[in-house]
Amino acid sequence: MATARPIFALIAGGFAATGFQPLAMWPITLVSFAVAIALVERARGPGRAFLVGWLFGVGLFTVGNGWIATAFTYQAQMPAWLGWIAVVLLALYLAVFPALATLATWLVTQKARAAILPAFAAFWIVTEWMRAWVFTGFAWNPVGAVALGGFGRPGLAAVAPWLGTYALSGLVVLLAGQWLFAQRALAKGNRKAAVGHALVPVVLFLLPMHGHNDTGTLPFTLVQPNLRQDEINDPRLFESQFQNIAALSLARNPGHLRLVLWPESAVPDYLRTGYAPFWYAETTYAGDPVMARERIGRVIGPGSLLLTGAVDLSQDRKGAINGAWNVVTALDPTGTIKGSYAKAHLVPYGEYLPMRELLTPLGLSRLVAGQLDFFAGPGPRTVDFGPFGKAGFQICYEIIFSGEVVDRAHRPDYLFNPSNDGWFGSWGPPQHLAQARLRAIEEGLPVLRATTTGISAVIDADGVVREHLGRGVAGRLDGMVPPAHASTLFARTGNALPLAWAGLLLVIAMVARRRTVG
C-alpha cells in the first residue's frame, strides 16, 4: 500500500484538473484534494511528503495545461509532437510549488492531524502566490477558479473581493478537507457528523449568488473577427481579413458616441511612422501607416474611439529595429493615435526566447511568428479617454495575474483584455475567460474581452458574463459598458490580503498542533 500511495497522488492530481473549465467538475477537484491531504497526513517523512505534492502537481498541471500542446501545431520551426513534451516538462517544474506546500505542511505539523488542514491551506495560498512570480511566473489555473459559477452567477467566487484569488484557493482546500472529515466520521459510524461535513461544500458551492443588473452609460461595439490561427499571418489574406473586421465594426447609429474594441493581432499594419520602408511593404496591405490609420478611422466613423491590438517596433540609437512591443493602440475617427499601452507580462518561449544564444542552435524558437523578440512594457496603466472613460489594459494572458492588473494609484473604469486565443484548442479559451472573471470580481471592475476566435465576453464587476461570443464564430457585441463597483478590499490591498489569510490559517494550525501535542 505504501508504494502505491505516490501513484494515488499522481492520479488524484490529474482528476483535480477536471474542476477547471471547460469540464467544471468541482466535486472531483474536492475529492482529489481530500486524497492529497490524506496522503500528506500518512507520509512517513519529509521526502515522502514532498513526493506526494510533486506527483499531485504533475498530474494537476499536465491535465490542466494540456491545451499548450495545441500551440505547437501552428508554427513550422519545431515539430508539433514537441508540444506534449513541453506540457510535461512545464508540469514537472510547476509541480515543485504543490510539493513545497506539502513539505512545509508536514514539517510544521509533524503529522498532528488537527493541524494539517489549515496548514495545507495556508501553504497552498503562499505557494500559489509564488507560482505567479518566480521565474516571471505562470499563474494559470489557480485552484480558486473551480469556485466560479456559471456565466450568470459568480458562485462561491463572489467572496474574492474579501479574500483574493489565492486565498479563494485556500478556501477550496479547506472545503475539500470537509469531505475527508465526512469520510472519517462515516467510518466511525457518526452519520450525522458525516452528513454535516459533506453538506458544507455543497451548500457553499451551490449558493445562488447573483450579481447586479446595473446598466452603464458608455456604448460599445466589441468585435470578434474569427481570424483563424493558421491564416492570421498570411499576407495574402490581410485585405480580406480587414474587410471582414471592418464590416463587423460599422456604426449602427452613425455619429453617436461609441467605444469600438478589436482583439490582439487584429491589425497587421505597423501604425506608427519612422520605420524603414521595407517594414511596411513586407508586412502590411496599405503600405503606409498614415493611410492605414485613416482607413481604420473611416471604418469606425465619427463619434467613435477604437482600442485595438497592434505591434510597434523598437529602434536602437542608430535607427535599426531591435525588437517589438505588443500594444493596444487607441485611434480616433481621423486616424490619430490617442494613446497606447505596451504589454508588460510577456510569454516566455511565446513572445521572446530566453537564453536565445543557447537555445537557437538547438532548434528551439518562439511560438509567435517572426524573429524579433518582444520587449516588456512598464506595467499596469490607466488612460483617461474623456467621454470614453478611464481604461485599464491587460493584453492576452496578463489578465491571469491576480493583483497585477490595475494601476492602483489611478483606478480605471473598466479593463480591456484583447487576446488571441486561437492557439489554444478547446480547453485554453474557457480557462482564460474564467480567470478574467476572477479579476473582475476581486477588483470590482468590468472586463471587456475581445478575442480573435473566441471566447469574447462582456464581464461585469460581479464576474457575471453578460454577453459572449463562442469559439469559431465571427460576430459583434453591442451594449453599454457595465459600471464599476467601489474599490474592493482586495483592490486596496492587493496580494497582501491573501497572504494575511495564509498567516491566520498558519496561526490556527500552530494552535491546533500545540493542543494535539499537549
**What is the average pLDDT across 400-405?**
96
Distance, in Å, from the CA atom of 326 to the CA atom of 375, rounded to the nearest integer, reads: 8
Q: Which of 157-161, 313-317, 359-363, 367-371 has the lowest average pLDDT?
A: 359-363
Confidence of residue 517 (pLDDT cuts 50, 70, 90): low
**What is the average pLDDT across 309-338?**
91
> Do 364 and 313 form a contact (C-beta atoms < 8 A)?
no
Q: Tens digits of per-residue pLDDT, 42-54? A: 998 999 999 999 9
Query: Any residues with CB less than 8 A from the CB of 500 and at least 6 apart, and which?
Result: none
**Entry pTM:** 0.93
pLDDT of residue 353: 55
Q: Where are any strands of DSSP class E within 332-446?
A: 337-342, 382-384, 390-393, 414-419
Q: Which of 106-110, 129-133, 459-463, 503-507 has the lowest average pLDDT?
A: 106-110
Q: Tens digits of per-residue pLDDT, 469-483? A: 999 999 999 999 999
Judged against a pLDDT cut of 90, whether residue 344 lies above it is answered with yes
Q: Tens digits of per-residue pLDDT, 410-435? A: 999 999 999 999 888 899 999 999 99
What length does the chain have? 518
Distance, in Å, from the CA atom of 353 to the CA atom of 420, rounded to the nearest integer, reads: 19
Query: Any residues with CB less than 8 A from the CB of 453 and at least 6 apart, and which?
Result: 224, 226, 227, 228, 229, 420, 421, 422, 429, 471, 472
Taken in order of first residue, the domains within the chain and their CATH numbers are: 5-211+495-517 (no CATH), 219-482 (3.60.110.10)
For β-strands 337-342 and 456-459, DSSP reports them as: unpaired
Distance, in Å, from the CA atom of 341 to the CA atom of 392, rounded to the nearest integer, reads: 9
Report the 10 Å Cβ neighbour count for 123.
28
Distance, in Å, from the CA atom of 511 to the CA atom of 518, rounded to the nearest integer, reads: 10
Helix or strand (DSSP H, E) at 6: helix 5-16
Distance, in Å, from the CA atom of 263 to the CA atom of 191, rounded to the nearest integer, reads: 54
With cell 454535516, the residue in question is 196
Nearest alpha carbon to residue 470 among 224, 220, 185: 224
pLDDT of residue 487: 96
